[in-house]
């Protein structure tokens, strides 16, 4: 279905968290949090590094007897903002910006032809790419788990190509490179057992490096 109504854009801040783990104590009681982050395509995992070096032999560190320090690790800061209808979501990390557009905003059902309302959405993303002065852009297409995997791969790649075509025309930058892929139902961000979840999983994501604070 093509959506023509307009929602206030990017108004609900869903999450912003900073997680810095500089020391894990072996031999002491450890606290942990369940990892509920959706899986991501290979090569797109966070790559933040520890901001400071920790000396495990520092005498000022008060460790229980027999305890040692694990290697320091930093998890990316992630801020997620989406519009009221959930049709568009923006994720910001330490290193990347990702826009996710639901397929219904861009395409008719089972189609890779962009709707009339799609261009303004994609143009706004192109302006952010210009602002960040990015030279590499990933455009990944995804579907829900209905239908065959083979059909989903073809459709998600065709949709990613359609979005990339508009970005390329808008940016018109010979130094800009694109990585365009279709993943079908792989890497869902919501529960495919409900229509609301499947709607979120039918999406095109555009990701590029952050170069400005």
With beta carbons less than 8 A apart as the criterion, state whether 137 and 95 touch: no
Q: Give me the phi and psi of 191, to 5 degrees please.
A: -80, 120
Q: Are strands 177-182 and 88-93 parallel, antiparallel or unpaired?
A: unpaired
| Tens-level pLDDT at each residue, the chain (213 residues) | 444 444 444 333 333 333 333 333 333 333 333 333 455 787 666 655 555 566 666 676 666 777 776 766 655 667 778 665 678 999 998 889 999 999 999 999 999 999 988 999 999 999 999 999 999 999 999 999 999 999 999 999 999 999 999 999 999 999 999 999 999 999 999 999 999 999 999 999 999 998 865
Q: Give pLDDT, residue 87.
A: 87
Chain Cα centroid distance, residue 160: 15
- Is the alpha carbon torsion for 19, 96, 152, 108 positive or negative? positive
């Amino acid at each position: 279905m093509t959506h023509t109504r307009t929602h206030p854009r990017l108004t609900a801040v869903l999450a912003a968290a900073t997680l810095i783990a500089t020391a894990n104590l072996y031999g002491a009681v450890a606290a942990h949090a369940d990892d509920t982050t959706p899986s991501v395509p290979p090569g797109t995992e966070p790559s933040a590094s520890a901001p400071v070096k920790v000396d495990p032999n520092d005498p000022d560190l008060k460790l229980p007897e027999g305890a040692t320090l694990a290697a320091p690790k930093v998890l990316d800061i992630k801020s997620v903002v989406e519009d009221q209808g959930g049709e568009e979501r923006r994720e910001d990390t330490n290193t990347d910006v990702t826009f996710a557009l639901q397929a219904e905003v861009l395409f008719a059902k089972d189609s890779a032809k962009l709707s009339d309302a799609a261009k303004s959405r994609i143009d706004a993303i192109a302006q952010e790419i210009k602002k960040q002065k990015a030279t590499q852009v990933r455009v990944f297409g995804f579907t829900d788990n209905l239908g065959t995997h083979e059909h989903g791969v073809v459709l998600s790649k065709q949709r990613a190509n359609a979005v990339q075509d508009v970005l390329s025309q808008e940016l018109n930058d010979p130094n800009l490179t694109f990585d365009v892929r279709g993943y079908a139902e792989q890497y869902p961000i919501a529960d495919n057992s409900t229509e609301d979840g499947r709607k979120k999983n039918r999406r095109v994501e555009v990701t590029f490096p952050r170069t400005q604070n």
